[in-house]
Amino acid sequence: MKKRYILPFLLLSLGACKQEFLDQRDPNAVTVEDFFETENDVQLAVNGLYQALRNGNNLGEGSGLFNEERSDNTGRNDNQSNAGEPFQFNDFSLLASNSFLKSHWSNMYNGISRCNTLLSHIDKVSFTNQDLKKRYIAEAKFVRALLYFHMVRKFGDIPLSTVEITSKQQADQLAFREKESVIYQQIIADLTDALDSNLPNTQKEYAVGRTSKAAVNAILGQVYLTIGATVAEGRQENLTKAEQYLAASYGMRTFGKLNEIPYDEVFDVDRKMDCKELIFQIQHIQGNQLYSSSIARNNQARGETINSKFNATGVGGNVKRDLVNDYEANDTRKAFSIKFAADVNVNDWFITKFRDNSDGAGVQGWGGNDWILIRYADVMLLLAETKMHLGKDAEAIALLDEVRERAGLPNYATSRMDANYSAKYPTLKEAILHERRVELAFENHRWFDLIRNYDAQGLVNYFKAKNQADYGIARLSNISTKDRYYPIPFDEYQLDPTRMYQNPGY
């Protein structure tokens, strides 16, 4: 069996493999070349793309280490033994040899490889319905773009592959870091292609957990916003396109105002199939040991029962005091999202936003929570941010106010008259960033929000202005401009130190 190379940058050890070994055929295995024969085979491969997202080393519910724990929202107060490597993310002491970082890189590129394999073979299959083929291609390109979008923001220049890799020679040729601008061009091309399909506007018109035009527009708008907010060249054009695509996604909603949807309903296990705010989510099956969600039980603190029937013995999902202090008085999201655990072994705040203490989840905590990747409050605040950059403050504030209204808070104009609010959030930019923080806490947006709104030195200034006592044992003094990007995993750098060059400072 000819070996299918996942991606060149995952295969440091293959340089020593002999060709005759790679050419061996396993009589019990189905080769990639033999797999794609029917429409159903393609459908199974598409399902595999979504399945790849579930992993905690990918974009699944356990991936908070690579975003929330890098930010000022959460982070571990344990740096001993096995906790030492995860602690590096929030402590700004991340090493290129970190095994969690390597696993994240490998898993993300494995998902990209699945997309490339499907797209490289789909033309070999005869479809009775060409629209269905086009839809499958759109889904694959959406997933690939989503993965690359996450990677380019974390690592900067990264390797790029859009084809199945079938030889070591081909792998070696592709083992180099493309510039960020090239990666973004590919992301935009994939998402634009995905829109040119018969994908429905919403996942509910197709299948919950699969992509839709609302999801594609949302990510494409965020891509343009990210470029427009961080790159001076073409800024106005990119921000205009961001507004176009985010507005298109927002226009596909099936509700009127956001306050029609209670905040707790967004995370209600019993409403996950019909909640109108959800645009794209990773699905889990309640009560199923293999495909259930563990986010409720994992966030639960000792002595508490609010999240799950599971008897927790740890401290639960850590919440920075810095975030606790950022909730305004009477913000209904606070009581739903976090709680103080009085147990003497905890004595701290923990995450309660993701709950399933039903009989269906049971004492094992096999929950039914879906992991939400895109929802309308996110889109609305991204659109508000875009309009703010374009000088359309009134339109931006209208969107901001709608989110605040649901949270039981006064509008922006009224809040500005409060001395404490205006001191903490002196500009509209800071007010929107604050609103995104408390609205989307623990949903893996915070790090990306920070690096979109602050350059490398601005990020350092932002963190060093914080109170160390509110940040935990991770040291704010460690942060430097190098921490804007993650290091390239050491094994990947070793492939070719020239073409897989390390990020500065590591």
Say if residues 132 and 121 touch (Cβ distance below 8 Å).
no
More confident: 172 or 353: 353
Beta bridge partners of 318: 350
Domain boundary among 338, 354, 369: 369
Q: Could you tell me if residue 443 is inside a domain? A: no
pLDDT digits (tens, 9 = 90+) for 195-224: 999 999 999 999 999 999 999 999 999 999
> What mean pLDDT is predicted for residues 475-479?
97
Q: Could you tell me if residue 385 is inside a domain? A: no
Q: Could you tell me if residue 383 is inside a domain? A: no
Amino acid at 188: I
Q: How far apart are CA 432 and CA 106, in angstroms?
A: 34
Report the predicted TM-score, pTM, of the whole model to 2 decimal places. 0.94
What are the two backbone dihedrals, phi and then psi, of residue 485, each rounded to the nearest 5 degrees?
-120, 155
CB atoms within 10 A of CB 366: 24
pLDDT digits (tens, 9 = 90+) for 235-262: 999 999 999 999 999 999 999 999 999 9
Do 26 and 134 have their domain in common?
Answer: yes
Say if residues 448 and 374 touch (Cβ distance below 8 Å).
no
Closest CA to 252 of 281, 278, 225: 278
CB-based contacts of 404, cutoff 8 Å, min separation 6: 410, 411, 412, 415, 435
Question: DSSP secondary-structure letter at 14?
Answer: G
pLDDT digits (tens, 9 = 90+) for 384-407: 999 999 999 999 999 999 999 999
Q: Could you tell me if residue 110 is inside a domain? A: yes
Name the E strands within 22-180: none
What are the two backbone dihedrals, phi and then psi, of residue 30, each rounded to the nearest 5 degrees?
-95, 120
Say if residues 408 and 427 touch (Cβ distance below 8 Å).
no
Closest CA to 316 of 335, 340, 292, 332: 340
Is the CA virtual torsion 450, 454, 456, 462 positive or negative? negative
Do 361 and 467 have their domain in common?
Answer: no
Q: How far apart are CA 317 and CA 340, in angstroms?
A: 11
Q: Could you tell me if residue 91 is inside a domain? A: yes
Do 462 and 349 have their domain in common?
Answer: no
Buried b (16+ CB within 10 A) or exposed e, 144-154: bbbbbbbbbbb
Domain boundary among 340, 369, 398: 369
Q: How far apart are CA 95 and CA 476, in angstroms?
A: 17
Question: What is the structure's pLDDT at 15?
Answer: 34
Question: What is the structure's pLDDT at 21?
Answer: 35
Do 301 and 159 have their domain in common?
Answer: no
Instruction: Please give the radius of gyration of the chain, using alpha carbons only, rounded to the nearest integer.
Output: 23
Domain boundary among 319, 346, 369: 369
Q: Could you tell me if residue 53 is inside a domain? A: yes
Q: How far apart are CA 25 and CA 21, in angstroms?
A: 9
- Hey, is 148 helix, strand or coil? helix
Look up the domain containing 347 and give its range. 284-369
CB atoms within 10 A of CB 418: 13
Number of domains in the chain: 2
Question: What is the structure's pLDDT at 81?
Answer: 72
pLDDT digits (tens, 9 = 90+) for 315-352: 999 999 999 999 999 999 999 999 999 999 999 999 99
Do 328 and 465 have their domain in common?
Answer: no
Least confident segment among 24-38, 188-202, 336-350, 444-458: 24-38
pLDDT above 60: residue 17:
no
DSSP characters for 327-376? SPTT-HHHHHHEEEE--TTT-EEEE-SS---STTTTTTT-B---EEEEEH
Which CATH number characterizes residue 144's domain?
1.25.40.390
The first and second tokens of residue 257, run together, are 């105002």
∠ at Cα 328 (324, 331), nearest 5°?
95
Pairing between β-strand 371-375 and β-strand 348-351 as defined by DSSP bridges? unpaired
Do 50 and 176 have their domain in common?
Answer: yes
Question: What is the structure's pLDDT at 31?
Answer: 66
Q: How far apart are CA 102 and CA 96, in angstroms?
A: 8
- Hey, is 500 helix, strand or coil? coil
Do 290 and 170 have their domain in common?
Answer: no
Question: What is the structure's pLDDT at 167?
Answer: 87
CB atoms within 10 A of CB 214: 25
Q: What is the mean pLDDT of the chain?
A: 93
Buried b (16+ CB within 10 A) or exposed e, 191-206: bebbbebebbbbbeeb
Q: Could you tell me if residue 255 is inside a domain? A: no
Burial class (CB in 10 A: 0-12, 13-18, 19+), 125: middle
- Hey, is 273 helix, strand or coil? coil
Say if residues 277 and 373 touch (Cβ distance below 8 Å).
no
pLDDT band at residue 171 using 50, 70 and 90 as cut-offs:
confident
Q: Could you tell me if residue 266 is inside a domain? A: no
pLDDT above 50: residue 2:
no
Q: How far apart are CA 191 and CA 206, in angstroms?
A: 18
Q: How far apart are CA 435 and CA 431, in angstroms?
A: 6
pLDDT above 90: residue 29:
no
State the helix-helix crossing angle for 428-439 and 393-406, rounded to 10 degrees.
30
